[in-house]
A and B are shown apart, each in its own frame.
Chain A
């Protein structure tokens, strides 16, 4: 371990804003051009530019060597890593790599997200066996020969019968030592995320991109909170079906829209595979917000009676502009105002909205 690793760790902590937030104003980002194989890669790196009295390098200019007429342009500052007055001014560019876990930590800190209190924490218990101790009784297969012999030797010496010229040692029963196993109990809390998406024609590529991004952040945050998280994906138009992650992001169909189809499938999955109380269930539904009017009531019933009591959170994300009467978002606001495990989000797209 080199001593400088302490300083490097400190630097990374500062860059990640864990400590010394007063230095934030001096941080700059830029990039350094590197090579990887034959390709040039740009390496983005934040840099803490601590101030001192310095001359303005642009006004200062300098002296260099080479050919060229007076008045010839030499290129913009910064483009050349040697640019400036040969002082290497402002060319420090650094990269800090974040793991997904660290990203989630930052997300949590920046948005001041609460630590999630998992349900059923003590419900899932797994035990492992580890040999970590010594005891005086046990099966012969677990006997520690060396340790038993040492005890026998000690006893022999202590009793004064030890003869260095005829070192015969008898291992008696009380000398024997055995491995002792220990049960290690770990408690897991498990979680499942169920994503639902309305694929009834109107969702364009940009909308999918937004949904994908939103799902990524939801995933990242929840994964930082739970171990062994499961994701399930449901797509629906008038009927719902479970699909793989890949299909979830690609499928595009057209047809009517019945939210209730997705909600009832979701309910079935939860009832069958993730029964309370050992599972933490998170459900998210993304749509453009339009549902058949006659379906709204059924959805509300499904949500109120079957889904909301069983899930930690139900998230409804409306992506796109929709202002007609059947707007499901408004129904949700009206019906579930007092409910605290329902989360609504909208992303209004400022583009002409069309629907066949």
Chain B
């Protein structure tokens, strides 16, 4: 770790020990956490770098840092804490935090760290990512020196534009063996006898009737086809487009290396995007428990604590993952404490009985710990976002109204809300684009398909992104999506972009 950070003061260290002990007694199980005290500029830098002190050079980090600095200077935001999924966990405290903020942040961080360590979706993340990121940074800096900054930066632009085209579940299942797909093409089936099997004919003149020439011709064609099957390339649609490019695109070694580093980083960040609601909800649930029920906040501090806590879970006009997450965890804990689950509860139709249901099951804590180990956001919402919860917390869906040019509340219908909520978090909220054919029209053109859920890609962005895909693939590229209710194909052939309407 670099030298510019400061470790905790003796006072803070005492606080940290207390909170660590309380957190452990709550049942939280975490890696060691190293807290560091940083000033606002360093905090903004870390935030711009996605939490890491070392990243490869790219102007987008500078842009984010610039925006954060401005925003901080004008009092528009303040970052209290940041924590990195690493073993040991690194967490940063803002130098200007009040002591109550530090307590809150520490409690919050320990819960995050527990989540990182125990949630199964994080099981495949690199726990030495801090070092890995620094390695990536120095490798890319080396390429910058070797190739020139404009060349490397342009390549980074192209790679970054598609680094979300990965298969987020592939960490947990084996889709196929890690081998070059081209092996399939090189494999040629054994030469077979090309004689068409004929029926035996006792007398020669019957042959043309028993084995008509039409049949012989067709059979020959069929055998020909079987011998040289048109191998789809890739054999099945490929969701990890980045990996496909790494295996098949014509890239220089340094380009492959950069693309593979970005792919690794993208995979590292996937679980965090996948569990945003749960992770924040979990941390918020525990900091609130530790600060109030365990009385870590002193009586002088409790007002400030309440103020800052309510800032975290405030009702915005858009979805607040902290709020949704913590409310769901609280709801689940209550339901399992009171035994509001299982077939008996589900079958009961008496509203009075339902609202007073309490079997003193007391399994709330057990249940939320179980959930934090095995669920991600999609499953979490699917299983625990109930009609009662939706109604009690006033959830609604909104959409854009062309006429008023404004967003409009569309529906409070539970099914609608849940459908839209799930849609917005599936695949980490990103559109699913898979590679269907890398030899489209038998011309090595790349054919991507957007697996849409009723909403198409933003065409202007798709057109520009294809130009970047072209940089990597070096052959014409296409992406199929929808625009309105029509299927469209966006193409870029290296010179111009076209949008075709498909039937």
Contacts and interface: CB of A to CB of B under 8 A. Distances in A.
Interface of A: 2-12, 14, 19-20, 22-23, 25-26, 32, 34-36, 41, 43, 45, 47-48, 50-77, 80, 82-87, 92-96
A68 B396 contact: yes
A83 B317 contact: yes
Nearest to A63: B421
A41 B75 CA distance: 11
B387 interface: no
Contacts of B424: 60, 62-63, 85-86
Contact of A62 (B160, B420, B464, B479): B420
A8 B404 CA distance: 39
Interface stretch (B57-65, B227-235, B292-300): B57-65
Interface in B41-79: 41-42, 45, 48-49, 54, 57-63, 65-67, 70-71, 73-76
Interface string B395-434: 1111111001111111110000100110010000111010
Nearest to B457: A53
A34 B75 contact: yes
Interface stretch (B12-20, B21-29, B318-326): B318-326
Contact of B62 (A4, A58, A95): A4
Interface in B224-265: none
B70 A94 contact: yes
B63 A94 contact: yes
B319 A47 contact: no
Given A4-B62, A86-B319, 6 more contacts: A35-B75, A50-B60, A51-B462, A51-B464, A54-B458, A63-B424
A73 B406 contact: yes
B406 A20 contact: no
A72 to B, nearest CB: 5
B317 A66 contact: yes
Tell me if B's interface is mostly helix, strand, loop or mixed.
Answer: mixed
A53 B450 contact: yes
Contacts of B324: 65
Contact of B409 (A58, A60, A70): A70
A66 B42 CA distance: 36
A83 B400 CA distance: 11
The interface size bin for chain B is 35 or more
A65 B73 CA distance: 30
Contact of A8 (B65, B153, B319): B65
B161 A76 contact: no
Contacts of B73: 34
A92 B70 CA distance: 11
A25 to B, nearest CB: 8
A34 B407 contact: no
A61 B465 contact: no
Nearest to B77: A81
A13 to B, nearest CB: 8
Contacts of B401: 73
B407 A51 contact: no
Given A22-B154, A52-B161, A52-B164, A10 B74 contact: no
B62 A50 contact: no
B409 A72 contact: yes
A82 B316 contact: yes
B150 A19 contact: yes
A4 B396 contact: no
Nearest to A72: B409
Contacts of A63: 319, 395-398, 417, 420-421, 424
Contacts of B359: none
Contacts of B465: 51-53
B429 A87 contact: yes
B193 to A, nearest CB: 50
Contacts of B412: 70
B457 A77 contact: no
A65 B320 contact: yes
17 contacts: A2-B4, A2-B42, A3-B54, A8-B65, A9-B62, A45-B70, A47-B67, A54-B431, A56-B455, A56-B456, A56-B458, A60-B455, A72-B409, A74-B406, A84-B318, A86-B318, A94-B66
B461 interface: yes
B60 A48 contact: yes
Nearest to B464: A51
Contact of B461 (A3, A9, A34, A51): A51
A55 B458 contact: yes
Given A2-B45, A14-B59, A51-B464, A61 B398 contact: yes
B409 A71 contact: yes
A65 B394 contact: yes
B162 interface: yes
Closest 8 CB pairs of A and B: A34-B74, A7-B62, A61-B399, A11-B62, A51-B464, A8-B62, A58-B400, A74-B407
